[in-house]
Amino acid sequence: MPELVVSGCTIHYEERGRGVPVVLTPGGRWGGYVQRVVAAELAKDFRVITWDRPTTDGASGLMIGGDMSEAELWADTLAGLIRGLKLAPCYIGEYAGCRTTPLVCLKYPDLVKGLLLAWPSGGEVPANSVPRNMYQPYIRAALREGMEAVTRLNHFAESIRQNPANRDALLAMDRMAFIRQMSFWAECFMTTADLPIAGCWATDADWASIKVPAIITGGCDPVHPTAAAQRLHRLLPNARYHDPVVTPEEWDRVFGKNPYPVTSDFQGERIAPVWRAFLKQNEG
């Protein structure tokens, strides 16, 4: 897997296909592998890059510090990756959550040609439930047992398996500094229930300022409510809306019942035709 150093952190990425570049970012704390299905489909017509954000279960290094939200840190890293690979202007896509890519549009508009968003999250449910999964387990482990316990937890353990240097980096961290950073990121997330996307500081006015073509596809569950996508569609001046590509019944049979990347493979199969049609129309 190729790699690029961005802001002192080694970022692992994967390329497929040729042509107009499309960079895909996953949600949660997952590595780029969870978008393997949609990437493979789009790569039949486009150059597709997937990447492991820092501090996920992928092979990239760790970035735990600073005074930005984690979504903003990831956005800055994505901008560095786009510049480093000379992809700009490119299409950027994200599912689920959709917290990182809009910040790239707002902070670095010259890098973005179009926006692909699916399963955006918004409202009280994700603002409260997602931080419980993304931050609280690590805070609890560090408080009770120290950084050694953090290295054994799910996403960090998988990251260490792929990149053993991440274990040394975690063990070298001051426990209280780690706890304070995770707590800060959790608080950044929990205070965004009123904003269009949970975990993203962009306001209604910020979203309305994004002029690039966009496709918004709704989710169908409490964490990714259809209303969140409809709100984005109303705000973005050059956006198309697509109804959810799965039914609530289908989603209930998959989400939380199967491990990743089974769920994300299911998402990718359904979203690939929508994104391909949008890209072909814009490039036509």
229 touches 246 (CB < 8 A): no
Residue 27: which domain range? 3-125+195-283
Tell me the whole-structure pTM to 2 decimals: 0.97
Residue 189 lies in a domain: no
User: How many other C-beta atoms can be found within 10 angstroms of the C-beta atom of residue 128?
Assistant: 13
Q: Name the nearest CA neighbour of 279 among 42, 104, 75.
A: 42
Query: Which amino acid is located at 154 in the chain?
Result: N
Number of domains making up the chain:
1
**Helix, strand counts (H, E) of the chain:** 13, 8
Query: Which CATH number fits the domain that encloses residue 50?
Result: 3.40.50.1820
Q: Would you say residue 14 lies in a domain?
A: yes
Below-50 pLDDT ranges, the chain: none
* 163 falls within a domain: no
pLDDT in tens, 225-280: 999 999 999 999 999 999 999 999 998 888 777 778 888 999 999 999 999 999 99
Q: Is residue 12 part of a domain?
A: yes
Q: In what order do the strands lie in the sheet with 21-26?
A: 3-6, 9-16, 47-51, 21-26, 90-95, 112-118, 214-217, 239-242
159 lies in a domain? no
What one-character DSSP code corresponds to residue 87? -
Residue 135 lies in a domain: no
In a domain, 147, yes or no: no
Residue 113 lies in a domain: yes
Residue-wise pLDDT for 253-265, tens only, equals 887 777 788 889 9
